[in-house]
Amino acid sequence: MPKFALKKAAFAAGCFWGVESVFREIEGVIDARVGYMGGNVNEPTYKLVCTNKTGHAETIEISYAPDLVSYERLLETFWKMHDPTQLNRQGVDVGSQYRSMIFYYDEGQKEEALDSKKKLQASGKYDMPIVTEIVPASKFWPAEEYHQRYNEKHGIKSCHI
């Protein structure tokens, strides 16, 4: 495989298992890991994050080749895979660890994320306000190994977007 200059992106959109599997299917996404970001506790565990006391969100950290896939495409995928009007929940998963977030690594990502959120809200697709937080990326803590590639390990097909 040819070498590309890689960039990082990070998103929280509910349970990280499905989010990871959807992003892994995108050409240009070189790697994806599930973990925790946005909290105030070092070395969080799944059990600790589930208490709603750490401030972390279940997050997917992506390494991607911008020559093969644009950040805009990653944002489009993010918006399509969940309901960004749900506060601290996605489907049956309830708690602040399931909130909708975009973590940006540079000013370009920040501006693209803010612009995409503004356009989606103005589109009329949702009757409710979009509650997705757009914040600077902080320390990413990889989740326990049994969470990595969970759907793949258990033969669960991702929902195609």
Q: Is the pLDDT at 158 greater than 70, yes or no?
A: no
Phi-psi region of 7 (alpha: psi -120 to 50; beta: other; left: phi over 0): beta
Q: What is the pLDDT of residue 107?
A: 98
**What domains does the chain contain, in order, with CATH numbers?**
7-153 (3.30.1060.10)
Q: How crowded is the C-beta side of 158, counted as CA atoms within 13 Å?
A: 20
To the nearest whole percent, how much of the chain has pLDDT over 70?
A: 88
Residue 94 neighbours by CB under 8 Å, 6+ apart? 88
Q: Rounded distance, CA 57 to CA 53, Å?
A: 11
Per-residue pLDDT tens for 101-149? 999 999 999 999 999 999 999 999 999 999 999 999 999 999 876 667 7
To the nearest whole percent, how much of the chain has pLDDT over 90?
A: 78
Write down the catalytic residue from 10, 13, 15, 143. Answer: 15
Angle in degrees, 0-180, between the axes of helices 71-80 and 107-122, rounded to the nearest 10: 40
More confident residue, 151 or 121: 121
Per-residue pLDDT tens for 73-103? 999 999 999 999 999 999 888 999 999 999 9
Q: Specify whether 15 is catalytic.
A: yes
